[in-house]
Structures are given as C-alpha cells and as structure tokens.
Amino acid sequence: MYKWEKIDNNKVNLEVEVPKEEVNKALDQAYRKIVKKVDVPGFRKGKAPRQLVEQHIGKETIVDEAIEQLFPDMYEKALTEHDIHPLLMPHVHLEQRNPPVFLAIVPLEPEVDLGDYRAVRVTREEETVTDEHVTSAIDRIRESQASLVPVERPLQFGDFAVLDVHATIEDQTILEHEGVSYELVEGGQMPVPGFAEAIVGMSGGESKSFTLKMPEEFRVPELAGKECLCNVTVQQARQKELPEVGDEMAKAFGFDSFDLLKERVGSDLESRAREQARTKLIQSALEGIAAGGTVEFPPALEDREIDDLLSEEARRYGYRNVEDYLKMSQRPLEQIREDLRPLAHTRIVNGLILSRLATAEGIEITDADVDNRIEELLGQSQDQERMREMLAEPQVRESVAQRLRTSRTLDRLVSIVTEHDPHGEEDTDSGSTAADEPEDDD
Amino acid sequence: MNLHDIIRRPLITEKAADLQAQDKYVFEVARTANKVQVKSAVEKAFNVKVVDVNVITIPGKMRRSGRRFVPTSSWKKAIVKLKHGDTITYFEGV
C-alpha cells in the first residue's frame, strides 16, 4: 500500500496507494458533500441522484473531492507506519487517479552529524590592547574635543587660517570668499594645488598676491592648465588646540581623573577586542565543525529561512511588509532571494549545529534558570511591573529559555574548541593548551 | 408518425427519479399522440416491455411578454410503467 524511498536532501518520496473500499467510501462522502452545492435542473439542491451529478459536473470533480478528503488520512497513516517525521508540509502530487496513487515529497528533520566535534580546535586570536592603542584612542577623543585658538605667529602647516580670498583666471572670478576658515594641509589639493604652500608663513592682517598654475586634469576642462591669480588676505591665524591630557579633560567626560578615563578606555577596548575575538572564534569553530561533520536539511527549510531574512530586511529598512519593500527595491524578488541564499544556508547550518551541540552536550535549561534570568532582566528595567507581566507570557519565557540555551551552548562551544575547562569561561588568554580533556558532565 | 416524433424527451426531475423506483419513466410526448402510440414508441425505442401508460395534458401557463400575458404551449406528459426488471438509460445529456 505504501512505498517510500528516501532521496537526497532529506526528502522522502512517499507513494501512497489507496485500497478500493476506502476509495469508494470517500467517493460516496464526496458525492454527498458536493450534491448539496450543485444545481441540476429538475432537482432541488442536494436531491439529485449520484449518476446525474456525475454527468452534470463531471466525475473528476467528485474524484478530486474524494482525494482531498482521503489524502490527509492516508498520509498520516503512511507516516506512522514508516515512522517518518516530516518537518514541513509535504509537496503532494497525484500520480494516478484510479486507483489513486499519491506521490508526496516530504521534507524530513534535518540530519546533523557533528563528526568529531570535540577534536575541533580553534586558536583564539585576540588583539592585545597595548598602550599605543589606548593612546590613539585617547587622541581620537581629544581630536573630537579640539578647539581653534587664535595665535600671533606666521601660519604653519596644520594651522587654520581665516582668509579673504579672491581668485581669478583670465579676469574671470572663480573664487570669492570672505572670512573662510581654511586648514593648511601640506600638499593639499584644495582649492588649487600649491595654495597652502603659498600662504604658509603669512601672519594675521597680511595680504599677498600670487599666481598658481591650474592642474592639467582639472575637473573643469576650460580652466585646466591656466594661470590663476590669487589675492589673499589673512585675517587671523588659528591653531588647533587639543584639550590638555589630564584630569581637566577627564572631567569633561565625567571622570574624576585622567587615570580613570584611561582605565575606562582601556577596558572598553579590551572588552571590544574580547568580543570580536569570541565572535571570530565561534565563527571558525562552527565552520570547523561543519567541515568535519555533515548537515543535511531539506531545501524547503532554506526557502523558509530566506522568507524570514527577507521580512527582517524589510523591517530593517522601515517597511511594514515585504511587498512594500519589494516595490521600493529595484531588484527583482528572485535575485534578492538568491542573494540571501548563502546567508540563509549558513544560518541554518549554524543553528542546526548549535542545537545538536546542545543536545550532545546535555545542555538543558530548567525553569529555575529561566526564573533567574528573568529576575536579572527585571533588575535592568525601570517599569518593573509591566516587565514582569510581559515576561510571564509563555512565549516570552520560551524565548528567554531559548536564548539562555544558545548562550550556554556558545560558551560550551568556546571552551571545547579552546580546550578550556568548561567552568573557566571568562578566561581571556589565547592558545592555552591545557592537557586535560574537557569534562563531560556539567 | 415516427417514434422519435412521438417521444420528444425524457423528463428528468426529482419526481421522475422517484418514480423510477416503481418502474415508471416519464416523457414529454407529442400532443397528438395517444397511449397506444406512446406504448409502441417506447417499446421500440428502448427495447423494453411497457405494461401501462398514463398521459396528462399539462396546460400552458400564462407568461408575460412585454405588456401582455400570453399563454405558453400546452404539452403532453406520459408516465410509462415498464415490466418489472426493464430499465431505460437516457443517453441525451441533462
């Protein structure tokens, strides 16, 4: 009665043949259902004899109806009989009408073989935060706080000048500004190469006329290669002044002393480096496991993931739904979907590996764990009452548990691939080669 | 009269379907036909044995045509009882 055959990508071709008496029963039911709807002249609705109904609307209609009723039942039975666990709805195709034979392509649970995942080793590549890093970070902060201070001395490179400029080419004014702020950059191209060099050394109040040759490849072809006569008056020379390194500067950022600021910058950099290293480590660990094992899943799953990604993307760009997003985007849907495919693939593979890993490592989240986590989350929020209500929702609890599970699995993954003791997770040194195998129990 | 001129068409209705249980088949026949003619026509056309024929003239009904009421044609209905066991299958479509 049932034939089934496993084909690649975790699909099953299920052939279901329906026995005669079942078919007749279904046909009878189908007739009784359909007769209520068809209008045969000479008969009230629901009163026409079967033969006439068949003649009137065609036998096929009744057969199709019967099949529709028949299939779910037969499908269920076939699944139980062969112990098949479908992941998604099957793709059904009617192979033969009489007697009916169905061909169902059933996507199966993904098959994940982690391989020898405990043997996967990844070296942590963490950029160590040096004093130079800290100094340059602090320099960037100072740069952002820089102020321009007037100075009584000739202009130097790096200074800012407040200028009146009048430039002409063949009596045609190309530039006329009063009181513009201009940064003298050595070798600068603006507005004309050589301009900064020409005014360097001038002091406040000084005026100067000079000619510069426009470059041959000037963006305005009519002016290229011509002589430019510039009349420049320096109103004021200004120097960029960075805030003094010290407690004063730290106070502007809300720190009591410069050392505290420096410490904070250092620890920020460190935690960022640690985070990056961890992400990279997890990435390569997952890649390693994927390379060593096999992950098979039906393509239908990938399509669904692409759907998810697509709606995520639409939401990210601020569209209410995918349709609106597609309307605005220039690219056809098919192309967008294809572009998302590799990402969807990786996401599925990673997700499957992680969930399999969680099972393999026996990572379980208890109700108490969830409660603790919820208390933690409550601690961070202002509106505790509302948060508590929200977190009490079963779906929210479920998602909290899910996240907890993922993060613990990730922790475990990190400790496996770096051969760390499972409990010493926050350890940051790289490439430690502890000789003892990680323990199996938690 | 040709037998196909006598039997105009079978009447396929709920009522006629119910009568089939009593071996009775219903036809619209020519207005000029009598019971004897219907009997022989049905026997010849469907190769069955007729045991009884009842005929009724169904009067035409008044139907509006524009401003006036005009009668539709009257017609004759024949209810033919066959010998038990004989059946008629209609070929013409419903």
> What is A2-109's CATH topology?
Alpha-Beta Plaits (3.30.70)
- Each residue of A22-52: pLDDT tens digit? 778 888 888 888 888 888 888 888 888 888 8
Q: CATH 3.30.70.1050 residue ranges in chain A?
A: 2-109
Percentage of the residues of chain B whose pLDDT score is greater than 70: 95
Contact A186, A203 (CB under 8 A): no
Mean pLDDT, to the nearest integer, of A320-326?
Answer: 75
State how far Cα A106 lies from the chain centre: 30
Beta carbons within 8 Å of A322's beta carbon, 6+ residues apart: A310, A311, A314
**Which pLDDT score is estimated for A421?**
46
The larger pLDDT score, comparing residue A424 to residue A345, is at A345
Residues 16-45 of B with CB under 8 A from A: 16-17
Please state which of the ranges A118-122, A165-169, A351-355, B60-64 shows the lowest mean pLDDT: A118-122
State the sign of the Cα–Cα–Cα–Cα dihedral A408, A410, A416, A421: negative
Residue A177 has pLDDT above 50, yes or no: yes
Residue carrying the six token digits 């059946």: B87
Mutation test of the interface with chain A: which of B9, B13, B20, choosing the one with the most A Cβ atoms within 10 A?
A: B13
The larger pLDDT score, comparing residue A73 to residue B22, is at B22
Name the closest residue on chain B to residue A52, using Cα atoms.
Answer: B94
DSSP string for A356-376: HHHHHTT----HHHHHHHHHH
Residue B32 has pLDDT above 80, yes or no: yes
| C-alpha to C-alpha distance for A275 and A288, rounded to whole angstroms | 20
* Confidence category of residue B57, pLDDT binned at 50, 70, 90: very high
Q: CATH 1.10.3120.10 residue ranges in chain A?
A: 250-417
- Each residue of A54-74: pLDDT tens digit? 888 887 788 878 877 777 777
Residue A1 has pLDDT above 70, yes or no: no
Select from 3.10.20.30, 2.40.50.100, 1.10.10.200, 1.10.3120.10 the CATH code of A250-417.
1.10.3120.10
Strands A294-296 and A111-113: antiparallel
* Confidence category of residue B55, pLDDT binned at 50, 70, 90: very high
Alpha-helix residue ranges (DSSP H) falling in A258-332: 258-292, 299-316, 322-328
Mean pLDDT, to the nearest integer, of A383-395?
Answer: 75
The larger pLDDT score, comparing residue A201 to residue A381, is at A201
User: Is A121 an interface residue toward B (CB < 8 Å)?
Assistant: no
Position A373, amino acid: R
Percentage of the residues of chain A whose pLDDT score is greater than 90: 0
- Give the 3-state secondary structure percentages of chain B, helix then strand then coil, rounded to 5: 25, 35, 35
- Each residue of A200-220: pLDDT tens digit? 777 777 787 888 777 777 766
Taking each continuous run of H as one helix and of E as one strand, the counts in chain A are 13, 11
Mean pLDDT, to the nearest integer, of A179-202?
Answer: 75
CATH, domain range A147-241: 3.10.50.40
Tokens of A438: 């990680």
CB contacts, 8 Å: B93 with chain A: 55
Contact B72, B30 (CB under 8 A): no
CB contacts, 8 Å: B16 with chain A: 42
Q: CATH 3.10.50.40 residue ranges in chain A?
A: 147-241
